[in-house]
């Protein structure tokens, strides 16, 4: 039987693997899952993995049953999944995990983390291999698999595998994803509200088309001519000026903007008074920076297409404003919208091509439906989070979606029991940055779903040189963490969540 192609870390580790410890008996043996009959599913590999076996570079995992399968809901589908089932100590729950970018990989680290916590865990490659969107050229069914179908099919199959192995279905199911994985989580809540009891949607690429259009707008701005390009060394110059101008507005001078929407720093403040120099911006560079901060508006319809990046995100601008356009965005146009691998971003028309992009790709890839009635109606809980300094997916996308849900569902009082948004000051894309970007959203979601404890604040920490040097509470939007006025500003106990 052909082995499932996995993340590079998996290569060769399965061959000659030694099983060090016996596996506890379950309702069915791991071996018996080879003959499990599921709709549109072929079980390609089943293995009993002993505790401590060197699995994909991990040596601290408990014993588990590894199941690999291929799902074919359509004749052109080829969805690979991995499901890891704890041999003992199962917590009775399923955790499914998200992807990143164009999502053509299985993620062993996510499976391992869930397994350590006692979960049956699952991942999918969304129906293709690799990080490019080239798989979709001429394959609309594969695009649909990537857009929404693969995650649903994986979830159905994973629940059935767990039920067969343990003799009972998972009592609760959770989704955990960031970036593309955040988009997948929102798509699940919108399209398949029965799949999960709780969803974590971090920095979601919910407007896949909007973010892609934004990437082209920025590329055109910074590569308009040689003078418009922002050298990476000037990101830090701009960032330092922003922090100096706006840091103290939240009552604490700590190098992080608690609410960057209150900062209106104009890059013109750094305009060179003479020739170009390392510590200033030329007039062309000022305009390029303004474009990055600014929302995009359709010139004909006046409709907002995307929010700008926030003040404080400058250190990560190489993602969008680097020497080459953002690959994930360009791929959408090359392989989905225009179906031309040689497409040139410089010819994008922000009127006609926007309409074409939304028509061709929006329904399949965008997770913008604010009607979460079915998900919320069955008791589903959704935690959305986003770093204010995210330089890849503008944080305004999350704020805008949250507000659209409030409007569609009848206001905050009807939504707060099911959906909460946490904006993380200083955090970059899905982590990192200068803020308190280490937190446990799954723990918060478990308490909400299983104990009815809605997250009023979530503990977060900043780690430098391997040590925590600051803690802060993350507050449900639109609240922010406000210093109480006494004690260390690096201690979360000295902050309260308050309305803006």
Scanning 384-437, the segments in alpha helix (DSSP H) are: 396-409, 412-415
**How remote is the C-alpha of 85 from its chain's centroid?**
24
Sequence-ordered alpha helix ranges (H) in 147-232: 150-166, 180-191, 208-222
CA 388 to CA 91: how far, in whole Å? 34
Show the tokens assigned to 357: 């992009």
**Could you tell me if residue 327 is left (phi over 0), alpha (psi between -120 and 50 degrees) or otherwise beta?**
alpha
Distance CA 44, CA 68 (A): 6
The answer for residues whose C-beta is within 8 angstroms of residue 205's C-beta and 6 or more apart is 179, 180, 182, 183, 211, 393
Exactly one of 197, 250, 331, 390 is catalytic; which is it? 390
Q: What would the two tokens of residue 452 be? A: 């009815």
Residue 179 among the catalytic residues:
yes
The answer to whether 210 and 397 have CB atoms below 8 angstroms apart is: yes
Whether residue 247 lies in the annotated active site: no
Which entry of 53, 179, 313, 398 is annotated as an active-site residue?
179
- Nearest alpha carbon to residue 247 among 497, 489, 491: 489
Phi, psi of 483, rounded to the nearest 5 degrees: -65, 135
Active site residue 223: no
- For residue 478, whether the previous peptide bond is cis, meaning omega lies within 30 degrees of 0, is yes
**Residue whose tokens read 């994803």:** 177
Instruction: Residue 385: name the closest of 173, 209, 204 by CA.
Output: 204
Nearest to 236 by CA among 314, 313, 324, 300: 314
Is the CB of residue 255 less than 8 Å from the CB of residue 434? yes
Decide: 347 and 156 in contact? Cβ < 8 Å. Answer: no
**109 CB burial (10 A radius; 0-12, 13-18, 19+):** middle
Q: Phi/psi class of residue 160: alpha, beta or left (left: φ > 0; alpha: ψ in -120 to 50)?
A: alpha
Q: Show the tokens assigned to 110.
A: 């996510």
Number of Cα atoms under 13 Å in the Cβ half of residue 288:
30
Burial of 475 (0-12, 13-18, 19+ CB in 10 A): buried
Report, as residue numbers or ranges, the catalytic residues: 179, 390, 429
């Amino acid at each position: 039987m052909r082995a499932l192609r996995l993340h590079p870390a998996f290569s060769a580790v399965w061959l000659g693997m030694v099983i060090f410890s016996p596996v506890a008996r379950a309702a069915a043996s791991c071996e018996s899952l080879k003959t499990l009959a599921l709709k549109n599913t072929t079980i390609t590999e089943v293995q009993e993995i002993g505790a401590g076996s060197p699995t994909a570079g991990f040596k601290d995992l408990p014993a588990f049953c590894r199941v690999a399968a291929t799902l074919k809901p359509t004749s052109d589908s080829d969805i690979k999944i991995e499901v890891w089932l704890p041999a003992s100590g199962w917590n009775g729950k399923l955790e499914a995990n998200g992807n990143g970018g164009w999502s053509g990989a299985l993620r062993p680290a996510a499976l391992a983390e869930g397994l350590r916590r006692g979960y049956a865990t699952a991942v999918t490659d969304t129906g293709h291999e690799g990080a490019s969107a080239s798989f979709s050229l001429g394959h609309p069914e594969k695009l649909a698999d990537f857009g929404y179908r693969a995650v649903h099919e994986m979830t159905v199959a994973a629940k059935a595998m767990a039920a067969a192995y343990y003799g009972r279905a998972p009592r609760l199911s959770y989704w955990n994803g960031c970036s593309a994985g955040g988009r997948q989580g929102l798509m699940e809540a919108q399209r398949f509200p029965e799949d999960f009891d709780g969803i974590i949607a971090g920095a979601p690429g919910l407007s896949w088309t909007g973010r892609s259009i934004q990437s082209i707008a920025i590329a055109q701005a910074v590569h308009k001519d040689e003078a418009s390009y922002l050298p990476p060394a000037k990101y830090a110059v701009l960032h330092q000026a922003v922090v100096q101008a706006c840091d103290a507005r939240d009552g604490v001078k700590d190098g992080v903007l608690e609410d960057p929407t209150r900062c209106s720093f104009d890059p013109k403040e750094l305009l060179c008074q003479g020739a170009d120099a390392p510590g200033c911006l030329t007039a062309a560079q000022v305009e390029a920076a303004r474009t990055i901060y600014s929302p995009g508006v359709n010139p004909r319809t006046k409709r907002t297409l995307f929010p700008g990046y926030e003040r404080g995100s400058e250190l990560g601008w190489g993602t969008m404003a680097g020497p080459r356009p953002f690959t994930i965005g360009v791929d959408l146009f090359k392989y989905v919208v225009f179906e031309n691998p040689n497409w040139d971003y410089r010819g994008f028309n922000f009127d006609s091509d926007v309409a074409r992009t939304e028509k061709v790709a929006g329904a399949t890839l965008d997770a913008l439906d604010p009607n979460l009635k079915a998900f919320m109606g069955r008791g589903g809980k959704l935690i959305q989070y986003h770093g204010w300094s995210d330089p890849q997916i503008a944080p305004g996308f999350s704020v805008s979606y949250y507000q659209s849900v409030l409007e569609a569902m009848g206001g905050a009082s009807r939504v707060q029991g099911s959906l909460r948004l946490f904006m993380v000051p200083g955090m970059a894309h899905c982590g990192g940055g200068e803020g308190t970007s280490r937190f446990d959203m799954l723990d918060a979601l478990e308490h909400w779903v299983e104990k009815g404890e809605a997250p009023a604040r979530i503990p977060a920490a900043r780690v430098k040189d391997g040590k925590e040097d600051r803690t802060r509470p993350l507050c449900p939007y639109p609240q922010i963490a406000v210093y109480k006025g006494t004690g260390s500003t690096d201690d979360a106990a000295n902050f309260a969540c308050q309305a803006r």
